[in-house]
Structure 1
Amino acid sequence: MVSQKIPILGIGLPVYNGEQFIKKKLNRYYYKHLMTLKFLLLIIVLQIEQ
């Protein structure tokens, strides 16, 4: 299979693999920020309860 290279975020990726790669990246990014948001929410709740 000849894979064309497409520039995504400065990285040449196989077209057929691009979508999965982006989903993985987004999931990781989203997960990381979800943890941050939960942490911030916890701090806010603790501040209010004091």
Structure 2
Amino acid sequence: MRQRQGKLDTEDRVSFTKEANKSETSTMSPAEKAKLDASRITREDSYVAFKG
């Protein structure tokens, strides 16, 4: 958790808020997400998706 210390003017408060809300961990690329999603698809999911 990040916590500001001291008083901030409006501009500094906005800057602090933006910085505090940034993720400190890396995120997966779209290709990595797609690969993970694809690995979770079961045979049953495929039947339901293409049944029509």
Shorter-chain TM range is 0.3 to 0.5
Name which structure has the greater RCO, CA cutoff 8 Å, separation 6+: 2
The structure with the largest strand share of the pair is: 1
Larger radius of gyration between Structure 1 and Structure 2 = 2
The structure with the largest helix share of the pair is: 1
